[in-house]
Amino acid sequence: MHGIVWHLQITGFPKAASSIIRRLVFILSIAFCCLTGIFGSLETAQAQAQAQDASNSHNTTCSDETARPLRIALPEIVDLGQGAGVASLFDIEKTRLEAILAEAGYCIRFYLLPWLRADNQIKNGALDGFVSTQNIGWYKRDYFISAPFAEIDVYVLTNPEKFAPEGYTYEDLAELRVAILLGDSLGFELSGRGIPYTTLPATANLTRFLQAGRVDAVLGYKALFEKSAADALDKQLLRMSYIGKRELYLMIHREVGQAKSIIDGLNALLP
């Protein structure tokens, strides 16, 4: 906008009009800043509301008044499609985490939130931490990280002719048209090896994309495939081949009170 005023001045536009325009520019700039702040506040409030609304229905009830509640995000979530909502990829594993932390004197309320929103809520103090398969260096700057508390099986879902009884390696996938599901972090396993992949928006696409020949393989977690492709697997229209495991970690933000004690308490109870 300031460029408009400068242009008018050098082209001989009357000074009085130029002054009026300059004042209008100043007023509009203030209004823009105010609106930006308002929308920013609305977005933050909306994210906080979504965090409250998105809690998993299998939350631990803190019946023990001495148990400390923990608010933990599950950022690896997928859309089930066909209006069925979203689901955590760590349903079984989070039950194990609940039991261990209950023994350590904590009860957990889980929240199904995508990673960026979860990270924002954690840093704003609305949540305490998250569960992740990504124990990578830069997390240690902001979080105390537990030892692995569970392992999750990773499989390759294919049509029967591409079933591998001995299992796949990630290098094998370089020869295939591979897909992952939007919401999981398995894309890092592929991109880190230079393997291109497609992202499917919902689990409802799994069977259709494979049987139509649009992709050769889908990389994902075994428990999810057993739910989302159960009928096709039962009829052996699709097959699963093992490729590996991923470890799960609990990460508590360093600004949370006694954050290190929470992680130490969990680690002490792990095998």
Indicate whether 107 pLDDT > 60: yes
The better pLDDT of the pair 180, 20 is held by: 180
- Label residues 219-240 b or e (16+ Cβ within 10 Å = b): bbbbbbbeebbeebbeeeebbb
Which of 3.40.80.10, 1.10.287.1040, 3.40.190.290, 3.30.450.70 would CATH assign to domain 67-271? Answer: 3.40.190.290
Q: What is the mean pLDDT of residues 164-192?
A: 94
C-alpha radius of gyration, the chain, whole number: 25
Q: Which DSSP letter does residue 239 get?
A: E
Indicate whether 28 pLDDT > 90: no
- From 53-57, 124-128, 157-161, 256-260, the region with the lowest mean pLDDT: 53-57
Domain locations in the chain?
Answer: 2-53, 67-271
Residues 164, 156: contact at Cβ < 8 Å? yes
- From 88-97, 172-181, 221-230, the region with the lowest mean pLDDT: 88-97
- Classified as helix, coil or strand, 8 is helix
pLDDT band, residue 65 (cuts 50/70/90): low
Q: Which residue has the tokens 């998250």?
A: 130
Residues 55, 98: contact at Cβ < 8 Å? no
% of residues, the chain, pLDDT over 90:
56
Q: What is the pLDDT of residue 142?
A: 92
Residues 71, 34: contact at Cβ < 8 Å? no
Q: What is the pLDDT of residue 253?
A: 96
Q: What is the pLDDT of residue 56?
A: 40
Q: What is the pLDDT of residue 16?
A: 53
Q: What is the pLDDT of residue 19?
A: 58
State the pTM of this model: 0.74
Q: What is the pLDDT of residue 9?
A: 42
Q: What is the mean pLDDT of residues 86-97?
A: 85
Q: What is the pLDDT of residue 69?
A: 93
Q: What is the pLDDT of residue 42?
A: 37
pLDDT, one tens digit per residue, over 180-220 is 999 889 999 999 999 999 999 888 888 899 999 999 999 99
